[in-house]
Amino acid sequence: MASYTAKDITVLEGLEPVRRRPGMYIGGVGSAGLHHLVWEILDNAVDEAMNGYASNITVTLHDDASSITVTDDGRGIPIDKHAKTKKSALEVVFTMLHAGAKFEHANYKTAGGLHGVGASVVNALSKELVATVKRDGAQWEQKFKQGAPVGAVKKIGAARGSGTTVFFRPDATIFPKIEFDGDLIRERLEISSYLHKGLRITFDNEAAGKKQVFQHSEGIADYLKKIVAERTATPVHDAAFALTRESDGSGLRLDVALQWTQSTDEHVRSYVNGIPTGSGGTHENGFRAGLGKAVRNFIETHNLSPKGVTLTAEDIREGVVAVLSVFVQEPQFQGQTKDRLNNPEVLSAVDSQVRPALEHWLNTNISVAESIVARIILAARAREASRAAQQEVARKTATSSRLTLPGKLSDCTSPGRDDSEIFIVEGDSAGGSAKQGRDRARQAILPLRGKVLNTESVSLSKVLENKELSDLVTALGCGLGKNFELSRLRYGKVIILADADSDGHHIATLLMTFIYRHMPQLITSGRVFLAQPPLYRIDIGKDTYWAIDDAHRDRLVKQHANGRGRPEITRFKGLGEMMPKVLWETTLNPRTRRLLRVDIADQIITDRIINELMGKDPSARFRFIMERAEDAQELDV
């Protein structure tokens, strides 16, 4: 079907079901559901761009942060009358559920999962919606309230060019809280501008008084650059591998950008029809398969296989940073959050595009390819070395457990794991106070001396060479990296106890970074905590109070000092200054202390923030993580 007319629309049903059960259509009426409305309208505009008709999109978040306008310069939604219903196509699009399903089949829909239910759902859930269309020299407008037209479409004047503008204000009788999140919208628009090369997207955030334009001539290759820079990963080669394939026989469109870096993990961001697929799926699997085969073929044909070590698929992909974007005509999503692609045909389609293209690229960039192969062989050797070290530790632990534990660990005496704790303490003198003040049965103390290695951009073998960190790994007993096993963890809680000053914050950050990078399961299983030692002692009359920071101190003084004389305030220089008994009462005793649980709210965001912050002001980094920790704060009594 070359072009569309109103007769192609199949009318299905009205909008009552949407207002009756909004959750069925947008997932819920909370913040995520509210933002679905924006994605719906945006997707329609992006579809128009993706199919080659629009090149500019503007999204305006209005002053009140509770209404949105999306404008595109596409063909404009048709306003001609539908033969059967005698309604304009525009009205049908906005008032009939699923109307639009029959739009040109050869086109791609951005939508997947919950998306794609269209403009009519947004209309149904809006207090007011105004659609404006420019076509054929005129401007047309139709208004709606709670999904029902307020009059027919009418001509409101002459116009040049073409396009569609949709203004909507969500209905407060449906959504308990209507406040759009400018940052969330901005992030989505920015990613869209990378996935749709050249598309110019303007975000006019009136609510924040800020206007931004996103446009990237190199598309996901630009996105890859940004990710590599954010992760402060050192590239193994300068120019990235990039592959763009317009629709093949099966209708698959594919866009890949890929670079090897010195980082020790693999980082793939994948998208299907512009929607992030956080749980991967067949497109990612096809990509990995093609990548692996291309590299193996290259290594074999050039006789580069290493002696004494076998390359695994993980070795080949270590340090890879990649963006994969595919457009599939009928995507099927699965998984709890519907963010995994399930179309089986996509696996072989992506594999068979990536493999020859990458192999060809390697063969035409021989010196680059050789550095990549060297990088891969190094990964394999490091893996072998760390496995050997790990086995050695495991073997010793199995035979004579006490002997192999680090000498400076003061272990707890009770064998029960779940109610035992290990405190990682900065410095020997603090370690001494903690050792005397602790509950010997349940609390172990591991003092760390001096600076912990910044592990952000360091290989696993370097990590294991660092005495402080290898002692920590041995004391925890659960291994790290690919050899991590939570069941071997020797304690129920892992508690970082650092001074309340900026040096202490720095050390705590380095430790958290280490744990996050090399044993993230410790954090995701909720076993890592920050102790909160006091920074001030406040004596007022006969009473003593402890404050963890300046604000806390001021609060306590205000609360307790009136009319009781001058409060006496002592600032601790470090944990080592504190009497063991005081340390017990304020920081160690499970009945009186407060712990902050370290939590990862969002993997990608945390990942990026850690990368961005490492190497800058240490206290700032830590504060952030403290705030994160406080987000998920739990009183641990």
Instruction: State in angstroms the smallest separation of the CB of 45 from ligand 0RA.
Output: 5
> Could you give the CA distance from residue 419 to residue 549 in angstroms, rounded to a whole number?
29
- Active-site residue, 248 included: no
Which of 21, 160 has the CB closer to ligand 0RA?
160
> Could you give the CA distance from residue 34 to residue 168 in angstroms, rounded to a whole number?
12
**75 is a contact residue toward ligand 0RA (CB under 6 A):** yes
94 contacts 141 by C-beta, under 8 angstroms: no
Residue with tokens 């409060």: 567
Which of 3, 303 has the CB closer to ligand 0RA?
3
Segment interacting with ligand 0RA, rule: CB under 6 A, options 68-76, 199-207, 325-333, 419-427: 68-76
Query: 440 vs 292, 428, 531, CA distance in Å?
Result: 51, 18, 18
With contacts defined by CB under 6 A, how many residues of the chain interact with ligand 0RA?
Answer: 12
**48 is a contact residue toward ligand 0RA (CB under 6 A):** yes
**74 is a contact residue toward ligand 0RA (CB under 6 A):** yes
**Nearest partner of 468 among 485, 484, 490, 446, judged by Cα:** 446
- Quick check: helix, strand or coil at residue 606? helix
Which of 110, 264 has the CB closer to ligand 0RA?
110
- Active-site residue, 499 included: yes
**103 is a contact residue toward ligand 0RA (CB under 6 A):** yes
Q: Which of 40, 72, 91, 265 binds ligand 0RA (CB under 6 A)?
A: 72
453 contacts 464 by C-beta, under 8 angstroms: no
Instruction: State in angstroms the smallest separation of the CB of 75 from ligand 0RA.
Output: 4
289 contacts 351 by C-beta, under 8 angstroms: yes
Which of 94, 271 has the CB closer to ligand 0RA?
94
120 contacts 147 by C-beta, under 8 angstroms: yes
> Could you give the CA distance from residue 485 to residue 522 in angstroms, rounded to a whole number?
10
Helices 282-301 and 366-399, interaxial angle, to 10°? 110
**45 is a contact residue toward ligand 0RA (CB under 6 A):** yes
Segment interacting with ligand 0RA, rule: CB under 6 A, options 67-75, 280-288, 404-412, 628-636: 67-75
Instruction: State in angstroms the smallest separation of the CB of 94 from ligand 0RA.
Output: 10
443 contacts 362 by C-beta, under 8 angstroms: no
Per-residue contact string for residues 147-166; x = within reach of ligand 0RA by CB under 6 A = -----------------x--
The two tokens of residue 594 are 């407060």
- Quick check: helix, strand or coil at residue 60? strand
Per-residue contact string for residues 421-440; x = within reach of ligand 0RA by CB under 6 A = --------------------
Amino acid at position 66, single letter: S
Intra-chain end-to-end CA distance of the chain, in Å:
67
Residues 163-222 close enough to bind ligand 0RA by CB under 6 A = 164
Q: Name the helix (H) or strand (E) containing 513.
A: helix 502-518
Helices 344-364 and 282-301, interaxial angle, to 10°? 30
Instruction: State in angstroms the smallest separation of the CB of 79 from ligand 0RA.
Output: 10
Per-residue contact string for residues 481-520; x = within reach of ligand 0RA by CB under 6 A = ----------------------------------------
- Active-site residue, 501 included: yes
Catalytic residue among 426, 456, 585, 607: 426
**78 is a contact residue toward ligand 0RA (CB under 6 A):** yes
> Could you give the CA distance from residue 627 to residue 603 in angstroms, rounded to a whole number?
16
> Could you give the CA distance from residue 332 to residue 83 in angstroms, rounded to a whole number?
33
Which of 204, 339 has the CB closer to ligand 0RA?
204
- Active-site residue, 426 included: yes
Query: What are the backbone angles phi and psi of residue 497, rounded to the nearest 5°?
Result: -120, 105
Segment interacting with ligand 0RA, rule: CB under 6 A, options 71-79, 380-388, 447-455, 570-578: 71-79
Residues that are catalytic: 426, 499, 501, 503
Residues of this chain that interact with ligand 0RA (CB under 6 A) are: 3-4, 44-45, 48, 72, 74-75, 77-78, 103, 164
